[in-house]
A and B are shown apart, each in its own frame.
Chain A
C-alpha cells in the first residue's frame, strides 16, 4: 500500500453534499459515491452497485438508504449493507451483501476520506480559529506533485479586491507571498499587502483524484462577512483557474503518468462458496453496550444498544437479535429501528413474571453501561415491498417488529395500515413513534378476546389484490388471526406471522433414522432427543436462535420422510408440502428422514 493510501485526503466540500444528493468523487483512482443521510452521517462508498456494477452516484439518496437506479437494490446508510432486493421481495438479503465503505470525517468545510488512512486528518493551527471559508474546488488535469509545485508559487490578494495595490492582478506592487508550510499534498500560503495593512492565510490541498487529475481545495483562514464572500470566492476561483491553465499546459509537455489502479476487493473465498457449518450452536458475535434504558410502556423496558467497536451490522425490518444473558439464557428481541438507523439497536422487553427469567434479568439486573453479548440481526420475518397494501397487526409487545416495518413502509411512501391491540394506551410500547405514522395507525384498546376476534374479522375481511398481512402478538391472537384470514379467503403466502413462543405440546417419544444426503451420514434420533441435538452431538452444526420452533432460524430442507411439524413458523401450506422442517422441535413419523444437509 502506497503512502498516499495511508493518508486522509479531502474528497468534497461540505457544500457539495446537499440533501438527498449523491456526490461523485474520486480519490487515488477509485470512484466514490458520497452522500449525506438525513441524520447528518456522511457515507463514502465504492461507486459501484454489488449487483451489476452500475454507478451508485446515479442512484437515489432517500435520506436513509441509497437505492441503485438499475434494479432498485437498497443499501443502508453507515453499513452499506443491502436491505432489500426488489426481484426477491419475499426474501431477506444475506448480511454478506455489503458494499465497501471508507471512513469519512468533516473538517474545515471539507469532507475527508482515504483508502486506509492512519489516525486523523491533518490539523492546521491557521484553521483552528473556527473561522474558515472553503473555496470552490478546481479540477486540474495534472499530477498532484505538479500542482503542489505551482501552488507554492501561487499568488492571491489579501484583500480579494481587484484593482487595488497588492491584489496580485498587476495593479501596483503585488502581495508579499510567504510559504509557511508545505507537504506532499498541501501548501500553506500567507499573502500580505505591500503596505502591511492586510494579510490573509490560506491552506491549499491537492486531492489526488488520479495520477493525472488533482482537485485543488482551498480553505481560507478567515470567514469574510456574508456580503463580501462572493468577491472573495470569485477572486480565488479566478486565481486558481489561472494556476490550473498554467499547470495543465506544463502537464501536456510531459509524458502522461500511468493511471492509478484502485484495487477492487475480491469477494472473500468464504463468501463465494457454500459456507462450512462452522458455528457451534448459538453464537453471540457482537458486544454491545446499553446506552439507554427506559420504561417504554407498562411492564416494557426499552433498551438502546450501541456498538463497542466498529459499526453495527445491517438489519432489515422484521429482524431480531438473540440477547445472551447470565445463566445461559438466550432471548430473541425484534429491532424496532427505522431504515438506516444503525447508530444503535433499539429493542423492547416485556416483563414476563412467569417466564424463564430472561425478561426479569433484563428488567432488574441490566443497567446503562452494561455490556451485552448479542447475535447479529437475523430476519425470519421479511417485509415485502411489492404489495399494493400492507396490513400490520400488533398485539401487545408484538408491535416491535411492526414498528420497524411501519417506518420502512412510511419512508418508502408505500400504502399500509398498522393496527395496534393493547390493554390500554399506557401498554403501547414506543407509542411516541406512532405519532409519526399519522393516519396509518388504528388503536384497538382494552378489547376482550371476543371483541379482538370481531376487530380482526373486520380488518381482515375482503382481501384486496396483492395485499399482505403481517401479524405479531400473543399465541391465541395469532391463532385467531390465522383462522380468520383463511376464512376470509386470504392465501397462506400473503399472511405472515411471528410468534413470541411456541405453545405446542411436543410428543418426543418417537425414534427414527435421519440421513444427511450431503454429509453422507446416517444418525439415530432416540426418543427424548431432538434432531438438532443429535446433529450437534455428531459434529453437524445448524444455525439456531429460539430453539423452540418459533423463529425459523434452524429451517432445513427435507428430501424424504413423513413429518410431524411441531413449530409455529411454517404456514399450513408449507407444512403440507413437507419440503422444510425446524430441526429444533419437529420430528419424523416415518422410520426414515432424509435432510438436504
Chain B
C-alpha cells in the first residue's frame, strides 16, 4: 500500500492522486495541514522531507519526494503498458522530460498566483500572472499544432503521458489565481479531453468529466 503525504488543495499532490487513480492504485493518504497549520514546515515533517514540500510517498518503506519524480516512479513501476512514461519511444520520452520541466514553470507561476489569491502568499502577482500567460501561450500554440497533426496530447505519443498529468492541474485551476484561459482555446479543448481519461479524478475546483451520451 502506498502512503501519500497529501493536502487536498495542493495541485502537486493532485498530480500524484490523478495518476494513482488512472493506474487504479490504492493509496492511504496522510493529510498534512499545509494551511493554516504549516505542518509541512514542522520539525516532525522534516524527518520525512527536509525540503518541507509535499507530496511525498512511502511505497512499502521506499520514500520519494517531488510530484514529478513520483509520477516517473509510479508510471515505470505500476504501468505495465509502458505508455504513461513512454520508455520505449525515445522521442516521446524526451518530450515528456521536457514538458515535466515546463510544468515546474507553471508551478512557479500559475500555481504561485493561486497561492497568492487563496492563501495570501507574498508574490509579485503581476509578474507571476504574466509568466503564467507566457507559458500558457506556448502550450496553447503547441497543442493547436498537435491537433492539426491529429494528436490529442502534449507529446508525440498517441497516448497521454505523465507530462499531461503534470500539466493538467495548473492549467485547469488557473482561474483561481486570476489567470484566465479565454485566450487559450486549444488548452480548453485539451482539458476537456483529459477529463474523459478513464480513472480521471477530481479535486476541489476541478469539474468532473462531461458525461453525455453518444450522438443519437
- CB of A484, distance to nearest CB on chain B (Å): 32
Asked if A586 lies at the interface with its beta carbon under 8 angstroms from chain B, I say: no
Return the contact of B215 from the options A24, A38, A139 (Cβ within 8 A): A38
Asked whether A62 lies within 8 Å of B144 as measured between CB atoms, the reply is: no
Asked whether B212 lies within 8 Å of A60 as measured between CB atoms, the reply is: yes
Stretch at the interface among B15-23, B44-52, B94-102, B182-190: B182-190
- CB of A217, distance to nearest CB on chain B (Å): 12
Contacts of B144 in A (CB 8 A): 136
Stretch at the interface among A144-152, A230-238, A513-521: A230-238
Contacts of A24 in B (CB 8 A): 181-182, 185, 188
Contacts of A16 in B (CB 8 A): 185, 189
| A63 nearest in chain B by CB position | B215
The number of A-B residue pairs with CB atoms under 8 Å apart is 59
Asked if A280 lies at the interface with its beta carbon under 8 angstroms from chain B, I say: no
Stretch at the interface among B5-13, B55-63, B110-118, B145-153: B145-153
- CB of A506, distance to nearest CB on chain B (Å): 44
Asked if B77 lies at the interface with its beta carbon under 8 angstroms from chain A, I say: no
Return the contact of A26 from the options B149, B182, B192 (Cβ within 8 A): B182
In the assembled complex, the Cα of A62 lies from the Cα of B183 at a distance in Å of 24
Contacts of A427 in B (CB 8 A): none
* Contact residues of B: prevailing secondary structure: loop
| A39 nearest in chain B by CB position | B215
Asked whether B145 lies within 8 Å of A230 as measured between CB atoms, the reply is: yes
* Contact residues of A: prevailing secondary structure: mixed
Asked if A201 lies at the interface with its beta carbon under 8 angstroms from chain B, I say: no
How many residues does chain A have at the interface if contact means C-beta atoms less than 8 Å apart?
32
Chain A proximity mask over B124-164: 1 for CB below 8 Å, otherwise 0: 00000000000000000100110111000000000000000
Asked whether A21 lies within 8 Å of B212 as measured between CB atoms, the reply is: no
Question: Known: A16-B185, A24-B182, A237-B141. Is A230-B149 also a contact (CB below 8 A)?
Answer: yes
Chain B interface size, under 10 / 10 to 19 / 20 to 34 / 35 or more: 20 to 34
Contacts of B215 in A (CB 8 A): 19, 38, 63
Asked if A20 lies at the interface with its beta carbon under 8 angstroms from chain B, I say: yes
- CB of A245, distance to nearest CB on chain B (Å): 11
- CB of B163, distance to nearest CB on chain A (Å): 21
Asked whether B213 lies within 8 Å of A61 as measured between CB atoms, the reply is: no
Contacts of A230 in B (CB 8 A): 145, 148-149
- CB of A440, distance to nearest CB on chain B (Å): 12
Contacts of B211 in A (CB 8 A): 60, 413
In the assembled complex, the Cα of A338 lies from the Cα of B145 at a distance in Å of 37
In the assembled complex, the Cα of A63 lies from the Cα of B212 at a distance in Å of 8
| A47 nearest in chain B by CB position | B182
Chain B proximity mask over A55-77: 1 for CB below 8 Å, otherwise 0: 00010111100000100000000
Contacts of A292 in B (CB 8 A): none
- CB of A227, distance to nearest CB on chain B (Å): 12
Asked if B81 lies at the interface with its beta carbon under 8 angstroms from chain A, I say: no
Asked if A361 lies at the interface with its beta carbon under 8 angstroms from chain B, I say: no
- CB of B83, distance to nearest CB on chain A (Å): 23
Within 8 A of B (CB), among A1-43: 12, 15-16, 18-21, 23-24, 26, 38
Asked whether A58 lies within 8 Å of B210 as measured between CB atoms, the reply is: no
- CB of B52, distance to nearest CB on chain A (Å): 35
| A60 nearest in chain B by CB position | B210
Asked whether B207 lies within 8 Å of A69 as measured between CB atoms, the reply is: yes
Contacts of A21 in B (CB 8 A): 188-189, 192
- CB of A555, distance to nearest CB on chain B (Å): 34
Contacts of B212 in A (CB 8 A): 20, 60-63, 413
Contacts of A424 in B (CB 8 A): none
In the assembled complex, the Cα of A413 lies from the Cα of B216 at a distance in Å of 11
Contacts of A228 in B (CB 8 A): none
Asked whether A234 lies within 8 Å of B145 as measured between CB atoms, the reply is: yes
Return the contact of A136 from the options B141, B210, B213 (Cβ within 8 A): B141
Asked whether A229 lies within 8 Å of B148 as measured between CB atoms, the reply is: yes
Within 8 A of A (CB), among B159-213: 181-183, 185, 188-189, 192, 207, 210-213
In the assembled complex, the Cα of A58 lies from the Cα of B211 at a distance in Å of 13
Contacts of A436 in B (CB 8 A): 216
Contacts of B213 in A (CB 8 A): 62-63, 410-413
Asked whether B189 lies within 8 Å of A18 as measured between CB atoms, the reply is: yes
- CB of A161, distance to nearest CB on chain B (Å): 17
In the assembled complex, the Cα of A263 lies from the Cα of B29 at a distance in Å of 49
Contacts of B145 in A (CB 8 A): 230, 233-234, 237
Contacts of A15 in B (CB 8 A): 147
| B180 nearest in chain A by CB position | A24
In the assembled complex, the Cα of A24 lies from the Cα of B183 at a distance in Å of 9
Contacts of A23 in B (CB 8 A): 185, 188
The winner among B182, B185, B210, B213 for most chain A CB atoms within 10 A is B185
Contacts of A136 in B (CB 8 A): 141, 144
5 example contacts (A-B, Cβ-Cβ < 8 A) are as follows: A19-B215, A63-B212, A136-B144, A230-B148, A413-B213
Q: List 5 extra interface pairs beyond A24-B181, A413-B211, CB under 8 A.
A: A15-B147, A60-B211, A137-B185, A230-B148, A413-B213
The interface of chain B, by Cβ under 8 A from chain A, is 141, 144-145, 147-149, 181-183, 185, 188-189, 192, 207, 210-213, 215-216
